[in-house]
Structures are given as C-alpha cells and as structure tokens.
C-alpha cells in the first residue's frame, strides 16, 4: 500500500488530489456536536495543501436516499474544516455537476474544496457495478491522484471508496495508515494479557468479532444491551431488558467455547434497572435501583452495569498489555447511566498497556464524558470498519488501496 508520503515525495504542486475523507459528523440541526472525524483528516489535507496541491475533499454524511437532502448537507463540515485549517475552504453544492466542476477548476495550488455529500448521487452506493463505475469515472475527472483517508468508510464497497482508486494513482492518507497500523497490533504478535471490552445494544452486531476473539483474546468483558442476551443464556431473568432471544443458543455455544479455550468471559454481576427508558432529550433525573445480575425484576430493564461490575471490570483491565474497547456499557447519553462507560474509559486511562477505543459510540462517549483523547493509545474513527478488520474480513477500501 503506497502512502501519502510517496505522493508528496513525487511532488503535488498544482496537481488535483482527491481526498476521500470521513466527515460523517453528528449534527444537531446545522451544528456539529463532535468534530473528531474532521480533525482526524487534518494532517493529510494540510500536508497536501502546504505542498501546493489543489485538494478536493469528498465524503458522505448520514444515509440520504441517493438524492439531495438539506438535512445531510456537508456545508457545516466544510465550514468547520476551514476553521481548523485556518484557511478558506470552497464548497461545491453538488458532487460531479456544474458546481463541482467549476469549484475544482477555480482552485489554485494550496487551496481546498469540499464536494457536497457523495450519497446525494445514487451511483455512490449502487449495488450495480456499472452504475458505481460510471459515478467513479465522473469523480475521477476531477482529480489527478487519489488519497484514501476515510477509514470509517473502508468497509463499504462504494464508488468513492472502492471504484475510484482503480482509476487514479492511489495512496493511503495518514489516518488510514495509522488505523491499519493499530489494528495490526491487535491481530499480529499481540502483547498479552490481551483484554477486550465489548458493549453496545445488539449482540448480533458483535457475534462475528467475538467468534474471532475467542481464539485471540485472553479476557472478554461484556456490557451494554448485549450483556442481557448473555445473562439470559446463563438462565437468568432479564425482565424487559434488551434481549435477542434468537441469539441465545449461539451465545451459549460461545460461552462454552470460551471456557474450553481458556478465555475468561466476564459478565456483569450487578446492573442498574428501571421501569422505563430515560429521557435523552431533557436528561431529566431517572428513577432506578441497583440489583444483582441474577435478580432483575420481571417488569424492569437493565440500563447500565452496576458499581460492583465497574470495580470488577476495572480490575480485569488493570494488568492488560493490550486493550480493545468497542461499545458503551450502558445508556451513557444520560448522566444517571453513564457510570459504567465512564468506569471502563477511566480503567483504560489508568492502564499501562496499549489501549484502543474502537470508534463509534465508544469514541463519542470518551468525548462526551470529557476524557482527554491523548490519554488513550488510539481512538479509532471507524467502529464498523475496526470490527470487520478484527473479524478477518477483507475491507473493500483497503483492498483498493493495496492494488
């Protein structure tokens, strides 16, 4: 895989360089609530611009239906990118149309432009190879070279991620190079003890990675909504907690495999329960109780791991040489149910080993709860991409850069 350093060494002064970034930031109306993904691509964009390239940045945002939708415009991201770069950033109001062509043609060396949301064009996400290829061809006409730096999208077989690199000289940006290097530390010659903490809502989203980790990790800590399927598999009453009943047999098999393989599988020993889900808009104080994990009332649901579990998980993370964490331990968006996620994050901060926060809600939680990002070994920008890499899957965006 060629890197941006090789492109810079060859010289980019006056060349049009297409940077496939991941500017898929959370928005509250037109306000960006977490600019982490924009900041992650800054080193690549700045290096190219400083070297005199005409930088064309493109990304998706959200899930529009293949047509323009103001709610998913990248205009706020373009403004924020300009603020962080400390220079004006032009914005094209379409992807490959008149505005994009005029905007790119008007760039001079060292200037940056952002194209409108790639998913406003149906060719970006098309299942049909020919339709995707046609859109990639239109994008290729806007550039002389391609830099892939949108790690959060590399697991998607989309036109700008998979098809476009084949049409231009292509290179990995600094972010992707860093992300791949980190993931190799989690899969090749791992320093032990290797502890993985998994949370989030659905156990079905994590089954494939658990399957792989049962042969690699020394210890698995389970939290979040997915924990209740594990507790059900142990024969516990889980009340009205989030439960995937159809996955119970699979989870039981994985628990047996863990014991057979000598992998320590750690489940919550107590949980915070309530009769209703908290109001995440007003953040009104919740009414909850703490119960043992085997004593959840039939009319209540678990919303966070309890204090004994927090201490237990912190102790299981304390001696780790390598840690991967993906998924919150509870409904961290509400202050009353953020304690479990905060405890795991703090345990990673306190650990002496190499700690990786696996993107998605985990990365959002770290920022929401006010942790210093530099206190972690690495915070990934792509939760889904990280998980699929750990599952051993071939990621289309990385495969395209390796050709």
**How many whole angstroms separate alpha carbon 27 and alpha carbon 117?**
14
Residue tagged active-site, from 15, 20, 37, 119: 37
Any idea of the CA torsion for 339, 341, 344, 348, to the nearest 10 degrees? -120
Listed in sequence order, the residues at least 6 apart from 347 whose beta carbon sits closer than 8 Å to its beta carbon are 313, 314, 317, 318
- Residue-level length of the chain: 403
Q: Provide the token pair at 1.
A: 């895989």
Residue tagged active-site, from 202, 234, 308, 393: 202
**Could you give the C-alpha distances from 391 to 153, 216, 363, 394, in angstroms and in order?**
16, 11, 20, 9
**How many whole angstroms separate alpha carbon 255 and alpha carbon 368?**
33
> 3-class DSSP state for residue 123?
coil
Query: Which regions of 153-205 does DSSP assign to beta strands (E)?
Result: 170-172, 194-198
Residue tagged active-site, from 223, 360, 383, 397: 360
Catalytic (active site) residue 384 = yes
Catalytic (active site) residue 37 = yes
Q: Provide the token pair at 319.
A: 């001696």
Listed in sequence order, the residues at least 6 apart from 378 whose beta carbon sits closer than 8 Å to its beta carbon are 178, 182, 354, 355, 356, 357
**How many whole angstroms separate alpha carbon 360 and alpha carbon 344?**
16
Residue tagged active-site, from 148, 200, 384, 397: 384
DSSP string of 197-231, one letter each residue: EE-SS-GGGTHHHHHHHTTT-SEEEE-STTHHHHH
Catalytic (active site) residue 2 = no
- Residue appearing with tokens 């432009």: 113
Q: How far is CA 208 from the centre of its chain?
A: 17
- Cis upstream peptide for 193 (omega within 30°): yes
Catalytic (active site) residue 302 = no
Q: Which residues are catalytic?
A: 37, 202, 360, 384
């Amino acid at each position: 895989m060629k890197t941006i350093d090789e492109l810079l060494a060859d010289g980019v002064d006056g060349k049009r360089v297409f940077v496939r970034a991941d500017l898929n930031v959370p928005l509250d109306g037109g306000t960006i609530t977490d600019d982490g993904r924009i900041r992650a691509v800054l080193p690549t964009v700045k290096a190219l611009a400083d070297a005199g390239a005409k930088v064309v940045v493109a990304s998706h945002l959200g899930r529009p239906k293949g047509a323009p939708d103001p709610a998913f415009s990248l205009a706020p991201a373009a403004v924020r990118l300009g603020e962080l770069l400390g220079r004006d950033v032009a914005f094209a109001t379409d992807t490959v149309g008149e505005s994009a062509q005029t905007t790119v043609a008007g760039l001079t060396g060292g200037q940056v432009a952002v194209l409108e949301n790639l998913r406003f064009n149906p060719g970006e996400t098309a299942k049909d190879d020919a339709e995707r290829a046609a859109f990639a061809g239109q994008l290729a006409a806007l550039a002389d070279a391609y830099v892939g730096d949108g790690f959060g999208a590399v697991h998607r077989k989309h036109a700008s991620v998979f098809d476009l690199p084949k049409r231009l000289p292509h290179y990995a940006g600094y972010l992707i190079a860093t992300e791949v290097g980190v993931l190799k530390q989690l899969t090749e010659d791992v320093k032990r003890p290797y502890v993985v903490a998994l949370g989030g809502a659905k156990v079905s989203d994590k089954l494939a990675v658990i399957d792989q980790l049962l042969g690699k990790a020394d210890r698995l800590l389970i939290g979040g909504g997915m924990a209740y399927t594990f507790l059900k598999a142990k024969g516990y009453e889980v009340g009205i907690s989030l439960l995937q009943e159809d996955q119970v047999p699979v989870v039981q098999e994985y628990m047996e495999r863990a014991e057979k393989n000598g992998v320590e599988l750690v489940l919550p020993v107590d949980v915070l329960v309530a009769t209703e889900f908290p109001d995440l808009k007003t953040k009104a104080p919740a009414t909850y109780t703490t119960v043992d994990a085997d004593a959840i009332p039939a009319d209540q649901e678990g919303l966070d791991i309890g204090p004994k579990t927090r201490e237990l998980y912190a102790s299981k993370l304390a001696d780790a040489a390598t840690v991967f964490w993906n998924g919150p331990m509870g409904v961290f968006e509400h202050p009353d149910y953020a304690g479990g996620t905060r405890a795991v994050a703090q345990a990673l901060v306190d650990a002496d080993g190499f700690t990786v926060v696996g993107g998605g809600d985990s990365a959002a939680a770290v920022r929401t709860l006010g942790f210093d990002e530099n206190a972690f070994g690495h915070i990934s920008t792509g939760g889904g991409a990280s998980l699929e890499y750990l599952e051993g899957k071939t990621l289309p965006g990385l495969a395209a850069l390796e050709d």
